[in-house]
Amino acid sequence: MNWLGSLQQLGRAVMLPTMVLPAAAILLSIGSLPWDAWGLPSIGDVSTWAGQGIFYFLPYFFAVGVAWGLANQAGPAGLAALSGMFIYDQVTRHYSDGSIQPSTLIGIIFGMIAGGLYNRFKHIKLPEVVQFFGGSRFVLLIMGLLSAVFSWFMLGISPFLQRGLDELTQLVLHLGGFGLFLYGMLYRILTAFGLHHLLNNVFWFQVGTFTTPDGIYVQGDLPRYFAGDPTAGSFMAGLFPIMMFALPGIALAIIHEAREDLKPKIKKTFLTAALVCFVTGVSEQIEFAFLFVAPYMFIVHVILSGLAMWITYALDIHHGFSYSAGVIDYILNFHLSHNAWMLIPIGLAYGLIYYVLFRWAIHRFQIPTPGREEGSTLEDWAGNIPFQAPLILEALGGKENVVRLESCVTRLRLTVKNDRLIDTSALKLLGSAGSMKLGGGNVQVVFGTYSELIREEVNKLMQRDLPQVLFCAPMQGRMLPIGEVPDHIFAAKLVGDGVAFIPEKDELVSPVYGTILHIYPTMHAIGISTPEGLEVLLHIGIDTSQLTGGDFKAVVKEGDVVVPGQLLIKFNLAYIRKHAASLATPMVITNPQRVKSWSFAPFKGVKKGQASVMSVVLHDRNVGGHET
């Protein structure tokens, strides 16, 4: 794994512990209500202490979360990191003057150590006498010893680390608005790679210190904001205009520049994306819509994002969030803010600028944003994920290609054996907003907020040895449900179940591995038997059995073994279009009783040999022959 892939994995692990912060924000907001005046002071006290408790133990959350993430969700790694934090707390508490306290940086370090030790020693074998301490138990043993040494070492270097962080704070303060401008641009650039969590951990959880009236020491822009530090919130305020207004403005521009025939679906998809961004601050689905097709517009977006940070700094605006800069956090944490009302007019101006600028650019430079080309829309995943998961796994190169599969809020994070096996076009048709290959087999695929559900379904497939058969597209054209074929026999599934295609080219290729079972005398239809026992019928056009004049020419014969994508029949497309009842070409399984479940790709344009447009799981495990 190269360095960028390692940072990708660490970035996801660092993000995981921050998921507890929304609970802290809600509790602190509840605690800020006038419970004394309402005669219920205990409710306010309990809520406040509960919210502060999350921030107090935040380093422990980071230790466990980072270890858990780096060790592929292994519980012993998280337990080892937690034991290290307890040891560190006890050693520094008794051998320092109180200036050394657990911080999120220390938590991340312990998490990295525990995760690395687990990955290295989880299968270690010791002599039989002490084998009880082998395997994952060895990680707990060695972590305890290393934590004691590390804690003693930190007693000596902690003052220097703190001095470095103080100097970083002073440098940022010295740069003023320009420093915030640089931070805003870097944040937006790293978002594309999924590495912004590493940057944010420094500024949100390390830079700046504050001591509460109760004597509690807090560090970082985000904890200081929720602890009541009036100077905190500078590194978060400038994100609100971008998330709540600017990016939704891009979504509206994409909708209004979509083709009329695709506009209804694009409107549904991107209005949802705009609402998600406005409410929660999750922005990747919109950003990836233009990141790859118009990188120069992403550069403009980066610069404008930096300017938003500079503007909010210049206007002395302080606001913060527990999760992201959406309207929920804007309202929830408004009582701690300063001049936050200005974010609304700034945001409205940003939204208008983004809308006009991006709509002009899309129209002027003919940017192929979703809705301007067939097959570019994001699908509605609700209820379809279990059925699309087999096709997603195939587009990722298959079960054998996936080494590691994780997810964060909006994207799948993978390590694969060969990233060239990933079919980015198929992933786009299956709902991906974009994908990024980071080298070393590390890949990110953006699916929006459904990414975690997709990961769960794909992992289920990888953990089971399903008797599955995958079908490629037998021709170039448009795929449609079998029920839409203008022929009662096929539409009623009397011949079999499957899908159909409207051809755009004059070639029919094999969708599966198999043996040619039968070729009809007129060569308008062909039957294939797969190694799994499925019988597949491909029928070119409707009412074509009576066409004559050499309009069909088979290039294989009965008994031939074929592979996906191999040419089977050439035909006269223009003649069939003129004389046949329809060009619809069914691909059906004539013994569907063998099939337990069906999965279909989105019914839209496909390319000849494209994998995979249909997937079936069989009732039995009598599978053999080629792996597909």
DSSP per position, 135-193? THHHHHHHHHHHHHHHHHHHHHHHHHHHHHHHHHHHHHHHHTHHHHHHHHHHHHHHHHH
Dihedral of the alpha carbons of 332, 334, 335, 336, in degrees to the nearest 10: 110
How does DSSP classify residue 470? E
Q: Assess whether 408 carries a catalytic annotation.
A: yes
Task: Tell me how crowded residue 564 is: count the other CB atoms within 10 A of its CB.
Answer: 21
| Helix runs in 430-487, H state only | 451-463
- Contact between 491 and 483 (Cβ < 8 Å): yes
**Cα 443–Cα 445–Cα 446 angle in degrees, nearest 5:** 145
Give CA–CA dist 24/47, Å, rounded. 9
Token reading at 53 = 């408790």
How does DSSP classify residue 542? B
Q: How far apart are the first and last CA of the chain?
A: 28
| Helix runs in 32-123, H state only | 41-56, 58-70, 75-95, 104-121
How does DSSP classify residue 379? P
Helix, strand, or coil (residue 538): strand
Among the listed residues 167, 113, 170, the one whose alpha carbon sits nearest the alpha carbon of residue 143: 113
Give CA–CA dist 43/49, Å, rounded. 10
Give CA–CA dist 226/173, Å, rounded. 20
- Contact between 221 and 244 (Cβ < 8 Å): no
Give CA–CA dist 498/519, Å, rounded. 19
Q: Measured on CA atoms in the order 74, 79, 82, 88, is the torsion positive or negative?
A: negative
Active-site residue, selected from the candidate residues 274, 309, 408, 554: 408
Give CA–CA dist 447/444, Å, rounded. 10
- Contact between 308 and 350 (Cβ < 8 Å): yes
Give CA–CA dist 165/177, Å, rounded. 19
What are the residues whose beta carbons fall under 8 Å from the beta carbon of 19, sequence distance 6 or more?
Answer: 323
How does DSSP classify residue 130? G
Give CA–CA dist 380/270, Å, rounded. 11
Give the C-alpha distances (Å, rounded to integers) separating 515 from 38, 305, 560, 592, 593.
80, 58, 6, 18, 20
Q: Which residue type sits at 364?
A: R
Tell me which residues are annotated as active site. 408
